[in-house]
Structure 1
Amino acid sequence: MGEKMALILQLLLTSRKIGIKNEEIVNYLKEHGLKSHRKEVGELVHDMNDFFTLFLGYPLIHGKPKRGYVIENEYYEDGELQLLVDAILFNKDASAKEKEALLKKLLSFSSIYQKERLSMMPLLKTEQPFSLILNLTTILHAIDEHKNITFNYIDYAISNYHPVEITSKNGNGKTKEDYNVSPYRIYLDNNHYYLIGYFSKRKTNLSMYRIDRMRYVRRIGGVYVDIQDQYDLAGFITKRFHMFASGEEVQLTFSFKGVLLREVVSRFGHTIAVKKLKEDWYQASVDHVLMNDGLKMWFLMQGANVHVDEPITLKEEIEQDLKKALSLYQK
């Protein structure tokens, strides 16, 4: 019975016909070596809708006079599905094989028409020397069970004019290559996953590792050291993931050309105060801005279209960085 239900759903999702009649479903099941009849099809659809009503909150399959059975409402809204598909396609660390498997699962309840409506970017056939899904699964289980993990952590060196992976030898395990860590939390930043945990060589600080640089991740025994309550994890994340924030909040004032208005709003929000200066220049004031290297880099990237007025310390740092950069081109 389960196989028949799966085939009926498959037919409804993949057929380009608007409405599939009982006879067509009976014939489709027969093509797959399964006997059925009109009454059974009706009973199967009824049972399927009982499941979907519990699972989704509404029946998925509707019977229409003269048209047959149809699926009127997709499991995902188009926008929801597009968001999820893009999150998979643009992930930097998952392999092409892992992305294909995830997309297959994600799109399993989508009709052929919904799949065609999506804006699907070509899947680049990239491979990775590790499994992101396996790494994440192993770490998440270890966090849930309060188990330690061990792994090798990679760095890079230049060989034959190309970067190659090398294994870091700063570990604390059976060999210098083994890192034994008590994992606390996974965090996503700039499309890379990071692990925050306890590493015995840095007992007074939390440690952070990029998961795509971890190899041979596995759970191990030993005492799970849980000291995360001694730290402000939110503060740690802010400082480490928001470009090394100093923690100092300042009143930021800067001038910019009108061409940057959208970028300014995107970076600082709609609540900033902006006044017109001369020609196409504006001045913005932003309260409670966290000083960090990311803020400075943002201003540097805008080039001659922006000028920091206050705080003076940030202005002077940018001036020094610009002088250093210019000196490299004047040699």
Structure 2
Amino acid sequence: MSSQERILIIFIRLLQGNRLSKADLMAEFQKNGSTIQRDMAIIDELLHKINASLPASKFSPFRQIGELDRKKRGFYQLTAFKENSYMTDQELFMIFKVLFASRGFHENDLKTIYYKLFDNVENKHTMDKLLANERFYYEGVPESTIYPSLTLLLKAMLNQQKVEFSYTKNGETKIFTRVPLDIYFSDLYFFMVSAKHTAKDDTDFEALNKFRINNMKQIKILNEHQPVEYTNRFQGGILRNQTALPFFGDPITLIIDFYYEPAYVLDRFPHSVIKQVNKDGSLRIEIPANNGYGVKMWLLEQGAHVKVISPKYIQKYLIDNMKQTLSYYDITTTK
């Protein structure tokens, strides 16, 4: 093995985040300590040149490789580079937990993602023990992989091309032609979105603009471009802050009295504000929300913990819905 090959192998291992032992390198390459030190000096010089010439791009993983860390005698590591470029076991653990909780992937897709991420875990035995139960019992919502559909939709979205597909909802199947504006994930599902976040939503099957990707079949890209005006773009970040569930709607200021732990409101709607404490102990909370079905569904889930103050039509929706529910149990109200 040439000296260039040896130095390249050492450099690659350093970029992989490994801490290298001088003694181990001497034994592996059958070289004395001065040779290994010389190799490290060459790598050190190379690092200085690389750091001085790297482009200042926020998207580059090599914005700053840093210098060799020799704090522990006889060991070498690109400590700063590892800390900036590789996730810790704690970070990976949180990502695993979110992936399992999402249930948005088919079992085989989740397994592929899991093992790719797991390869970056340092303490594999401990991590596997911590995740074994959820990994074993994981059941994804999609009945098959959505990767091929995602690939087609992303291509069409980036090229602003129409797609044609069949879609089934409530036992009814129709053929749709839409321009994908975004891929949105919420509440178990990946959606293809074809309208802005304030569009009409789920009121008319033929006018749908949000489609669960696992229900989209026979997707094909049409050779038809349809540029989307900037003002009509879908803004998923705004939608996520305005609703508990993935339903579009017009912006509203929702005012409620809440009779339970306020974190259930404040965490769900990040721009909500407690305006006052009422005499009965409830909290008057103002929420920048939307008037879509997702907000209405969330309000119904709160039961006796919430009273809607305004808008009045949202209040009426809840009252009518509760009356209808009571009628299923042969309970009638006097008002």
| TM-score when normalising by structure 2 | 0.65
Mapped pair 1:275 → 2:289: no
Q: Secondary structure at the match of 2:66?
A: coil
Instruction: Say whether the 8 Å CA contact 1:150–1:181 is kept in structure 2.
Output: yes
Q: Secondary structure at the match of 1:63?
A: coil
Aligned to 1:208: 210
Question: C-alpha offsets along residues 30-57 of structure 1, whole Å, 9 cap, x if unaligned?
Answer: xxxxx56453686379649839955151
How do 1:64-143 residues align onto structure 2 when only pairs under 5 Å count? Answer: 64-70=71-77, 72=79, 73-74=82-83, 75-76=85-86, 78=88, 80-106=91-117, 108-112=119-123, 116=127, 120=131, 122-123=134-135, 124=137, 126=139, 128-143=142-157
Q: CA deviation digits over 1:70-115, x for unaligned, max 9?
A: 4644334546544544443333232233233334444555533898
Residue 32 of structure 1: aligned partner: none
Q: Quick one: structure 1 residues 131 and 44, their matched pair in 2 at CA, closer, same or farther if it must change by over 3 Å?
A: farther
Distance 2:118 2:312 in 1: 53
How far 1:129 moved relative to its partner? 4.0
Q: Residue 111 of structure 1: SS of its match in structure 2? A: coil
Unaligned runs of 5+ in 1: 14-18, 30-34, 158-167, 172-178
User: What runs of 5+ residues in structure 2 fail to find an aligned partner?
Assistant: 55-61, 196-203
Partner of 1:291: 291
Q: How many residues align?
A: 292
* Counterpart residue type for residue 249 of structure 1: I
- Does the 8 Å CA contact 1:63/1:70 hold for their aligned counterparts? yes
For residues 1-331 of structure 1, the aligned pairs below 5 Å read: 1=5, 4-5=9-10, 8=13, 13=18, 20-25=20-25, 27=27, 37=31, 39=35, 43=39, 47=43, 50=47, 55-59=62-66, 62-70=69-77, 72=79, 73-74=82-83, 75-76=85-86, 78=88, 80-106=91-117, 108-112=119-123, 116=127, 120=131, 122-123=134-135, 124=137, 126=139, 128-155=142-169, 169-171=173-175, 181-197=178-194, 207-218=209-220, 220-226=221-227, 228-229=228-229, 232-234=232-234, 238=239, 243-245=247-249, 247=250, 249-250=252-253, 252=255, 254-257=256-259, 259-268=260-269, 269=271, 271-278=273-280, 281-286=281-286, 289-330=289-330
CA distance in 1, matches of 2:306, 2:116: 46
Q: Aligned equivalents of 1:230 and 1:52: distance in 2? A: 40
Quote the offset at 1:229 in angstroms: 2.2
Q: 1:109 to 1:216 in 2, by over 3 A?
A: same
Q: Percent identity?
A: 16
* CA drift at 1:273: 0.3
Q: RMSD of the alignment, in Å? A: 4.5
Instruction: Give 1:180 shift.
Output: 5.0
Distance of aligned partners of 1:215 and 1:317 in 2 relative to their CA distance in 1, 3 Å threshold = closer
Question: In the alignment, is the contact (CA less than 8 A) between 2:257 and 2:309 conserved in 1?
Answer: yes
| Counterparts of 1:297 and 1:288, CA distance in 2 | 16
Read off the aligned partner of 2:9 and give its amino acid letter. K
Q: From the superposition, tell whether residues 60 and 99 of structure 1 become closer, same or farther in structure 2 (CA, over 3 Å).
A: farther
The alpha-carbon distance between structure 1 residues 183 and 306, as it changes in their structure 2 partners (threshold 3 A), is: closer
SS in 1 for 2:315: helix
- For 2:193 and 2:126, the matched residues in 1 are separated by 37
8 Å Cα contact 1:187-1:194 kept in structure 2: yes
CA distance in structure 2 between the partners assigned to 1:84 and 1:266 by the alignment: 19
1:162: which partner in 2?
none
Shift of residue 324, structure 1, vs aligned partner? 1.0
Return the structure number with greater strand share.
1
How far apart are 1:62 and its partner, in Å?
Answer: 2.8
CA contact (8 A) 2:92 2:121 kept: no
Kept after mapping to 2: 8 A contact 1:243/1:294: yes
Q: The residue matched to 1:296 in structure 2 has which SS?
A: helix
| Structure 1 residues 10 and 286, CA gap change in structure 2 (3 angstroms) | closer
Contact 2:253 2:287 in 1 (8 A): yes
Code of the residue aligned with 1:58 in structure 2: it is I
The change in CA–CA distance for 1:132 and 1:46 in structure 2 (over 3 A counts) is farther
